Amino acid sequence: VREVEQVASHLGNVFASRPDGAKNAVGTYHAQMSPSERERVHREFLTGRRKVVVATVAFGMGIDKPDIRLVMHYGAPKTMEEYYQQVGRAGRDGLPSKVEMLYGDGDFSKYGSDFYVGGLSETVRRTQKASTD
């Protein structure tokens, strides 16, 4: 959540320095926000008031906005399935769109730890490992 707020603050400053001064173009969305705050950001994004939403995975479900042009993934997803589900939000209207992921070498290694795979069968562990290698 802290990273969401930091990235949104940085992007807000970037947008504010643009000629159109779109400082309020960036919103945040995460589970620590109240339901009414999350609903407001969601509505503002769908109507175009918010051009960018910096969010945790909490934002991905239920987003049906066909004209998303960029999905930027900050850090590694837990699985390829999760990644496909999230980046599949871009370009649903058939127009060119872009997906990018920013990650470091250590982002994928954490998913092999017992915290993530401790209760999984050996077959599922191998699948999980293959999807993040």
CA 92 to chain centre: 16
Are 42 and 60 contacting, i.e. CB atoms less than 8 angstroms apart?
no
pLDDT of residue 43: 93
Full set of structural domains in the chain with CATH: 1-62 (3.40.50.300)
Tens digits of per-residue pLDDT, 9-49?
998 888 888 777 666 789 999 999 999 999 999 999 999 88
CA 80 to chain centre: 14
pLDDT of residue 104: 84
The amino acid occupying position 16 is A
Are 50 and 42 contacting, i.e. CB atoms less than 8 angstroms apart?
no
pLDDT of residue 73: 84
pLDDT of residue 33: 94
pTM for the full model? 0.74
pLDDT of residue 23: 62
Tens digits of per-residue pLDDT, 66-111?
999 999 888 888 777 788 888 888 999 999 999 988 888 777 777 7
Identify which has the larger pLDDT, 120 or 114: 120
Mean pLDDT of all residues in 52-73: 85
Give the Cα separation of 110 and 89 in Å (integer): 26
pLDDT of residue 115: 60
pLDDT of residue 130: 80
